[in-house]
Structure 1
Amino acid sequence: MSPGDKVLMFETGHFATLWHKMALRLDIQPEFLGLPGYEGWRHGVQADMIEARLKEDTLHELKAVCVVHNETSTGVTSDIAAVRQAIDAAGHPALLIVDTISGLASADYRHDEWGVDVTVSGSQKGLMLPPGISFNALSLKAIEVSKQAKLPKSFWAWDEILEANKNGYWPYTPSTNLLYGLNEALDMLLDEGMDHVLARHQRWAAGVRAAVEAWGLEIQCQDPSVYSPVLTGVVMPEGVDADAVRKIIYERFDLSLGMGLGKAKGKMFRIGHLGDCNDLTLIATLGGCEAGMKLSGVSLKGSGVTAALDYFAANPLNADER
């Protein structure tokens, strides 16, 4: 990108909002599409809105479309292939730039097949590592466009990195310990097989959603077609402070839950179900949530723990678990 470039972003939650804020600080001119209000944070990217806006941009002033794949703040996994189809249907040359920091290795993601130009990810979610490594996957188109970009950059410049990568090296001092961890994490994922990994995450997510339904509470994501396999947002009843509930759960059961962020602050909490996890740890997590909500005076319809146990028993990941 160059100073003053216009980009189109879609607001799906807190991390899309932070990306918008970053663009402003870098002297990019972001245009923020989205559904109105808090309800807009309960749905995924609306590809039809992107297509309509790009068709209006007959001078092709918009240089990129930026979307978050798995919105960590809401538990929504957007349809990236549909966004590429929208760009193509509009006949627009904008780059497609995707943040899949919390989606990689937990939710299905296909950089090449879906026609993504720049993918941004990190080590701290599905790759099961501490934060500290970030990754880019690049299309040839993105590399060519970057050669004309005027924003100042040194550490973030791709040219030196791509040259060093040809021989398996990095142009600066690498995070050696994290790379050893990454090597082990990749071996774990590939030994299991990515189809199995993705199915495992979908199963865990479905079990947690069964628990939320049994509690009689709402899931933050309102569109079942884009439920996240990475995390589930649990919306508290009107008048209940989700952060106060989280505090009780943490203090009584040493269980840390994700807080509601931005427009969702105080309205919901987040249960993660990704990476190196299993049925037992999730059942324990749901047990802590259920007990903590009862202690907080939240009226629950039934037992989410029992519902999740029933779901996992009826839906084993492997045939030999029946």
Structure 2
Amino acid sequence: MTVRAGREFLAIPGPTTMPDEVLRAMHRPALDIYSDQMIELSDSLHRDLSKLFATKSRSYVYIANGHGAWEAVLTNVLSRGDKILVLESGRFAIGWGDAAAAMGVEVEVLKGDWRRAIRPAEVEARLRQDKEHSIKAILAVQVDTASGAYNDIEAIGKAIRAAGHPALFMVDAVASLGCMPFEMDAWGIDVAMSGSQKGLMTPPGLGFVAANDRARKVHKTAGLRTPYWDWTEREGSEHYRKYAGTAPVHLLFALRQAVDMLFEEKLENVFLRHRLLGEAVRRAVAVWAEGQVLGFNIAEASERSNTVTTVVMNGHDPVELHKYCKEKCGVVLGVGIGDLQGQAFRIAHMGHVNAPMILGTLGVIEVGLNALQIPHGNGGTEAAIDWLGESVSA
């Protein structure tokens, strides 16, 4: 017996649910890649990506996922033997650092853990110790989708400046761009990167990088540059060089539609929607946690992200809950990954989401907790409903 039918709902933190308008935007014949229409499409997207990053600097589009965009950043500003500082708050900054190590870069990890965000004071203290300025770049993520941590990138940027350190500040905004405030120029970020498949509501396959003048100056002497990722190659006068060859035309049409939808909603409203829905999820989890089995992975409330919530389970198998929600009810939760594999599940609340999607997901989780007899506080979904009723004005 199941109660699933129709469209399966993805509550995973990427790829996220794509709007029907975005899907329809791709349903068209191939475009003449040498046409004025193609050039106008590219120019508009590069311009608007810089708006999303909140920078006056140049943006680049790659046919790649986020891991490819990581590589694009690293190869354009680093040389073999350079040293970087990776700020740990979960899996993804560490993964970015691992990619750098494989390229011959010396990687130091500023140790954190999977239950907390980066501490800016610790960043400043470490940089003050680097009297010789041997650290060439600092890597951080705004939201770690494995741990659920939200890092205060503005405060980290201030800490770097307070230390008087010249290292490039490089930030992964894959799980935050288009969902939460991101101010590249105002926060002192030199290089930012993101991907298409989360807050930007577009199929996986596009990676984005924005680089300021300081990073572009370092780029001129970077020893890891390769033709495909190279910024200089992508700045050539021929349009095809923006993509190092044939453009990903249909993905670009999808992205154009998605960005138009974000701008039509207005970014401040998009950010508010994510904050309200994220808090609705947190209200539900807080109630469920009263059963002493479920709990937040991130200990401090202020360090929990507005795009994904990681829920740990004690003494019960989260895979069984994941299986029940998917097979019986048609809702796909995110699994625990990395250090949290087999210990947690994740609820995404990013991108193309609204109240019925989130409340439906929370309701299905509560159905699963009841069906599997997993101890939990009663009324989690009701707490989310109450929060939204109080917060969304009539």
Q: TM-score, normalised by structure 2?
A: 0.77
Answer with 193-202 or 207-216: which moved more.
207-216
Is the CA contact 1:214–1:307 (under 8 Å) kept in the aligned structure 2? yes
Asked whether 1:259 is paired with 2:335, we answer: yes
| Stretch deviating more after TM superposition (98-107 or 290-299) | 290-299
Which residue is 1:133 aligned to? 206
Q: Tell me which residue corresponds to 2:299.
A: 222
**Which of 63, 84, 87 is equivalent to 2:136?**
63
| Aligned match of 1:29 | 106
- 1:283 is the counterpart of 2:359: yes
- Verify the 8 A CA contact 2:171 2:189 in the aligned structure 1: yes
Matched residues in 2 for 1:164 and 1:142: separation? 21
Q: Tell me, in whole angstroms, the C-alpha distance in 1 between the residues paired with 2:184 and 2:226.
A: 24
- State the 1:243 CA deviation: 2.0
Counterpart position of 1:187: 260
Cα separation, 2, equivalents of 1:186 and 1:226: 27
- Number of aligned residue pairs: give it: 313
SS at match of 2:114: helix
**Per chain length, whose mean CA-contact separation is higher, i.e. which structure has more relative contact order (CA < 8 Å, sep 6+)?**
2
Specify the alignment match of 1:156 in structure 2.
Answer: 229
TM alignment of 1:39-188, pairs within 5 A:
40-164=113-237, 169-188=242-261
Deviation, structure 1 residue 171 = 4.0
Which secondary structure state, in structure 1, belongs to the residue aligned with residue 138 of structure 2? strand
Partners of 2:237 and 2:273 lie apart in 1 by 36
Deviation of 1:165 (Å): 9.1
Structure 1 match to 2:385: 309
> Is contact 2:196–2:204 with CA below 8 Å preserved after alignment?
yes
Aligned residue for 1:257, secondary structure, equals strand
Match of 2:372 among 275, 285, 296: 296
Partners in 2 of 1:7 and 1:188 — Cα distance?
37
Deviation at 1:109, TM superposition (A): 0.6
Q: Give secondary structure in 1 for the equivalent of 2:235.
A: helix
Deviations 1:184-242 (A, max 9, x none): 11110111100000000000001011111111232122122222111111121x21122
Name the CA distance, whole Å, in 2 between partners of 1:250 and 1:141: 47
Distance in 2 of aligned mates of 1:170 and 1:255: 36
Alpha-carbon distance in structure 2 between the residues aligned to 1:89 and 1:165: 42
Unpaired stretches in structure 1, ≥5 consecutive residues: none
Secondary structure of the residue aligned to 1:299 is coil
TM-score (ref. length: structure 1): 0.93
Preserved contact between residue 164 and residue 170 of structure 1 (Cα < 8 Å): no
* Candidates 309, 314, 317, aligned match of 1:232: 309
Percent of aligned pairs with the same residue? Answer: 37
For the structure 1 residues 165 and 97, does the alpha-carbon distance in structure 2 shift closer, same or farther, using more than 3 Å as the test?
farther
Residue 160 of structure 2 aligns to which amino acid in structure 1? Answer: I
Alpha-carbon deviation of 1:313?
Answer: 1.2
Deviation, 1:295, is 2.2
Pair 1:8-2:85 in alignment: yes
Structure 1 segments (4+ residues) deviating >3 Å? 163-171
Give the aligned CA root-mean-square deviation in angstroms. Answer: 1.6
Report the Cα offset of residue 167 of structure 1: 11
Q: Which runs of 5+ in 2 are unaligned?
A: 1-77
Q: Distance in 2 between matches of 1:115 and 1:202?
A: 24
SS in 2 for 1:124: coil
SS in 2 for 1:137: strand
Deviation by residue 1:270-318 (Cα, 9 ceiling, x = unmatched) = 10111111111111101111111222221011121111111111111xx
Q: CA deviation at 1:29?
A: 0.8
Indicate how the Cα distance of structure 1 residues 56 and 261 shifts in structure 2: closer, same or farther if over 3 A, else same: same
Residue 74 of structure 1, CA deviation: 1.6
Structure 1 CA distance, aligned partners of 2:237 and 2:211?
15
8 A Cα contact 1:164 1:171, kept in partner: no
Q: Tell whether the 8 Å contact from 2:296 to 2:311 is kept in structure 1 after alignment.
A: yes
How far apart in 2 are the matches of 1:162 and 1:293?
54
